[in-house]
């Protein structure tokens, strides 16, 4: 299946027999019939085990894994209860005491906090580098580096990383490369084809698209995912609930059309913001003014619905905007039909989440100033969203 719109609806399913449901059925069961001659290890280690226990795998979850794998051009996928569940599982499965991780200095705050607070006590050393700078990544590699992890576009400043360039560095050194592609989605970017070993997503965002459930996934080679299933899914237990999988699978049917609409709306809102007197900087990968617009054009088939904007006196305006917007929700999270806006003061996030100082802090300030509004443009009419922002700003 080569057309992504068809893949988004059909991949992973077989054509049914008379009497079978056309829509996906929801399998709510914690366990499944088995037999004494089916060894328990089979459920853990086979590529396609019989359903056995839902923490190990579930037919509804399995369909979502297959669908996402087809969209990403990956051999297989493994779902988790949340994006953080998937990312923590990836780190714990690929890194051991004595190993070294290279990671974006700016990425999803929860991931930045996880690698800062929880990996060093396990004996895993971490270098946080600007992954938009390939030379910086190259010089951070050590003999014990096992994983390079980058997020593109990176939350919340929409800085990009050159996936093919990173893969060139890691493949020669036999280091795994993992890309958090949550903001891009497989509609925009397919990191496996660019040389990445793993892709992770918070399915909570665009894949779910309606803001009503959490979910996460790791995609990559089957054999690697079998190992991760055994070590980090079955034993740590952050398994996805089948109802979450059912909601997200249903949402994937419209992912291509939704991403087109998110991009259309974001372009209009970004254009409005760029011309507004109270806005000092607009970062949108689809704009020529984005510092990495050329990379965005090469690596992204869709510029997504996320905008980062610096407002004059942003800290003072945040309170007013939060009270005056009527369509935008002043809230975290992103990628849903409902538009969101949220303010990230630089001082707080740079200290508490990213632990930036010196040149790294200056580089962050270059994008974010004293603070940045992260705007997730939903599926409302862009004219209405612009009117909403305009009245909140006036
Ligand atoms: C939200 C998010 C995560 C974490 O996902 P959860 O589903 O909230 O656990 C990780 N990476 C990115 C880029 C995100 O936006």
What's the gap in Å between 277 CA and the centre of ligand 1?
A: 32
Atom 11 of ligand 1, nearest CA residue: 108
Give the per-residue pLDDT at 171: 94
Last residue of a domain, one of 252, 283, 313: 252
What's the gap in Å between 36 CA and the centre of ligand 1?
A: 41
Among 66-75, 276-285, 288-297, 307-316, name the one with the lowest average pLDDT. Answer: 307-316
Pick the atom of ligand 1 nearest to 154's CA.
Answer: 13
Q: Which residue has the tokens 């990628």?
A: 335
Give the per-residue pLDDT at 353: 92
Give the pLDDT confidence of 176-195 residue by residue, as tens digits. 999 999 999 999 999 999 99
Whether residue 188 is found in the same domain as residue 40: yes
Give the per-residue pLDDT at 2: 75
Whether residue 89 is found in the same domain as residue 222: yes
Secondary structure (DSSP) of 30-83: SB----TTS-HHHHHH-SSPPP-BTTT--HHHHHHHHHHHHHHT-SEEEEESSH
Is 1 contained in some domain? no
Mean pLDDT score, 127-145: 97
Given a cut of 60, whether residue 1 has pLDDT beyond it is no
Q: Is the CB of 110 under 6 A from ligand 1?
A: yes
- Residue 193 and residue 73 in contact, taking contact as beta carbons nearer than 8 Å: yes
Pick the atom of ligand 1 nearest to 215's CA.
Answer: 7
DSSP 174: T
Is 18 contained in some domain? no
Mean pLDDT score, 139-159: 97
Is 2 contained in some domain? no
Q: Is the CB of 179 under 6 A from ligand 1?
A: no
Whether residue 73 is found in the same domain as residue 194: yes
What's the gap in Å between 83 CA and the centre of ligand 1?
A: 5
Whether residue 233 is found in the same domain as residue 260: no
Last residue of a domain, one of 252, 280, 297: 252
Could you tell which of 178, 202, 342 is best to mutate to test the pocket of ligand 1, judged by most ligand atoms within 8 Å of the CB? 202
What's the gap in Å between 104 CA and the centre of ligand 1?
A: 15
Last residue of a domain, one of 236, 252, 268: 252
pLDDT-based confidence at 134, cuts 50/70/90? Answer: very high
DSSP 130: -
What's the gap in Å between 212 CA and the centre of ligand 1?
A: 14
Give the per-residue pLDDT at 315: 82
Q: Is the CB of 216 under 6 A from ligand 1?
A: yes
Mean pLDDT score, 375-389: 98
Q: Is the CB of 238 under 6 A from ligand 1?
A: no
Mean pLDDT score, 314-336: 93
Whether residue 196 is found in the same domain as residue 60: yes
Q: 193: which 2 tokens? A: 């084809």
Whether residue 71 is found in the same domain as residue 210: yes
Atom 6 of ligand 1, nearest CA residue: 83
Distance CA 23, CA 363 (A): 49
Pick the atom of ligand 1 nearest to 333's CA.
Answer: 1
pLDDT-based confidence at 117, cuts 50/70/90? Answer: very high
**pLDDT over 90 for what percent of the chain?**
92
Give the per-residue pLDDT at 49: 82
Domains in the chain: how many in total? Answer: 2
Give the per-residue pLDDT at 6: 97
What's the gap in Å between 37 CA and the centre of ligand 1?
A: 41
Distance CA 198, CA 182 (A): 13
Give the per-residue pLDDT at 172: 84
Give the per-residue pLDDT at 394: 87
> Considering the chain, what is the average pLDDT of its residues?
95
Whether residue 29 is found in the same domain as residue 121: yes
Whether residue 237 is found in the same domain as residue 288: no
Q: Which residues have CB under 8 Å from 80's CB, separation 6+?
A: 86, 89, 215, 216, 217, 218, 233, 238, 239, 240
Give the per-residue pLDDT at 39: 82
Give the per-residue pLDDT at 356: 93
Pick the atom of ligand 1 nearest to 87's CA.
Answer: 10
Give the pLDDT confidence of 16-54 residue by residue, as tens digits. 999 999 999 999 999 999 999 888 777 677 778 889 999
DSSP 232: I
Atom 2 of ligand 1, nearest CA residue: 202
What's the gap in Å between 84 CA and the centre of ligand 1?
A: 6
Give the per-residue pLDDT at 267: 98
Whether residue 290 is found in the same domain as residue 216: no
pLDDT-based confidence at 130, cuts 50/70/90? Answer: very high
Whether residue 269 is found in the same domain as residue 146: no
Q: What CATH number did the domain enclosing 30 receive?
A: 3.40.640.10
Whether residue 298 is found in the same domain as residue 314: yes
3 state SS of 123: coil
Whether residue 219 is found in the same domain as residue 238: yes
Q: Residue 358: how many CA atoms within 13 Å on its side-chain side?
A: 4
Q: Is the CB of 340 under 6 A from ligand 1?
A: no
- Structural domain span for residue 215: 7-13+25-252
What's the gap in Å between 164 CA and the centre of ligand 1?
A: 23
Q: What CATH number did the domain enclosing 310 receive?
A: 3.90.1150.10
């Amino acid at each position: 299946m080569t057309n992504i719109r068809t893949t988004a609806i059909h991949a992973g399913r077989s054509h049914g027999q008379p009497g079978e449901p056309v829509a996906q059925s929801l399998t709510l069961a914690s366990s499944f019939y088995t037999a004494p001659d089916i060894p328990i290890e089979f459920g853990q280690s086979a590529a396609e085990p019989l359903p056995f226990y839902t923490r190990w795998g579930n037919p509804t979850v399995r369909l979502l894994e297959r669908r996402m794998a087809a969209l990403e051009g990956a051999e297989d996928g493994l779902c988790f209860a949340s994006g953080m569940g998937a990312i923590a599982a990836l780190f714990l499965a690929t890194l051991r005491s004595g190993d070294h991780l290279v990671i974006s200095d700016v990425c999803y705050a929860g991931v930045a906090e996880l690698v800062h607070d929880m990996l060093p006590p396990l004996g895993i050393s971490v270098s946080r580098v600007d992954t938009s700078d390939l030379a910086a990544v190259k010089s951070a590699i050590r003999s014990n580096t096992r994983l390079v992890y980058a997020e593109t576009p990176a939350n919340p400043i929409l800085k990009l990383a050159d996936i093919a360039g990173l893969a060139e560095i890691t493949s020669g050194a036999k280091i795994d490369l993992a890309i958090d592609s949550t903001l891009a989605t497989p509609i925009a970017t397919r990191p496996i084809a660019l040389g990445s070993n793993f892709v992770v997503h918070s399915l909570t965002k665009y894949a779910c698209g309606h803001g009503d459930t959490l979910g996460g996934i790791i995609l990559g080679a089957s054999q690697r995912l079998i190992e991760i299933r055994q070590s980090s899914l079955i034993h740590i237990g952050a398994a996805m609930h089948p109802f979450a999988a059912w909601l997200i699978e249903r949402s994937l049917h419209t992912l291509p059309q939704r991403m087109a609409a998110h991009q259309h709306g974001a372009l209009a809102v970004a254009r409005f913001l760029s011309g507004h007197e109270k806005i000092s900087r607009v970062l949108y990968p689809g704009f020529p003014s984005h510092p990495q617009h050329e990379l965005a054009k090469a690596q992204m088939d869709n510029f997504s619905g996320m905008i980062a904007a610096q407002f004059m006196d942003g800290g003072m305006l945040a309170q007013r905007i939060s009270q005056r917007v009527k369509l935008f929700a002043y809230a975290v999270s992103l990628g849903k039909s409902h538009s969101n806006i949220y303010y990230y003061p630089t001082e707080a996030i740079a200290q508490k989440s990213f632990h930036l100082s010196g040149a790294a802090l200056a580089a962050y300030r270059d994008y974010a100033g004293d603070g940045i509004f992260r705007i997730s443009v939903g599926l409302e009419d862009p004219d209405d969203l612009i009117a909403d922002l305009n009245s909140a700003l006036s």
